[in-house]
Amino acid sequence: MKALLELASEKGEPAMELGIPDDIRHDYAGQCWWCGSVADTREHRYKRSDLIRDFGKGTWLGESAVSRVLAGVKTDIRGSKSENLKFERNICGACNNTLSEVISATFTRSCRVRNA
């Protein structure tokens, strides 16, 4: 079984929580972090096209099984649309589908250059 990510420190804390000073943490309380509208979509933590490229389309079971490990807890991931691969609602549909598109395309191009 492949481990998609190991995000734990030696203390068992999620790596995402480490090294972020309290004075810059922010709870958006259901608002889009970009424009302030109601956050009604869940963004993938990892680019979905990268997941499909690396692990294939369809269901990830048996020889194709994928897991995500966070703070020592393993969660089986069944496919690229898994809810376990998404953030909580933190961005509105308009920003997710329009504003983030340019950033996503730029990221994809930079990965192609890096992997060439």
As beta bridge partners, residue 77 has 66
Domain map (residue ranges) of the chain:
2-115
Q: How confident is the model at residue 5 (pLDDT cuts 50, 70, 90)?
A: very low
pLDDT single digits (tens) 9-63: 344 444 444 456 777 777 778 899 899 999 999 888 888 888 898 888 888 988 7
22: three-class secondary structure by DSSP: helix
What confidence score (pLDDT) does residue 20 get? 61
* Strand order through the sheet with 2-7: 2-7, 66-70, 73-77
What confidence score (pLDDT) does residue 116 get? 63
What percentage of the chain has pLDDT greater than the value 90? 15
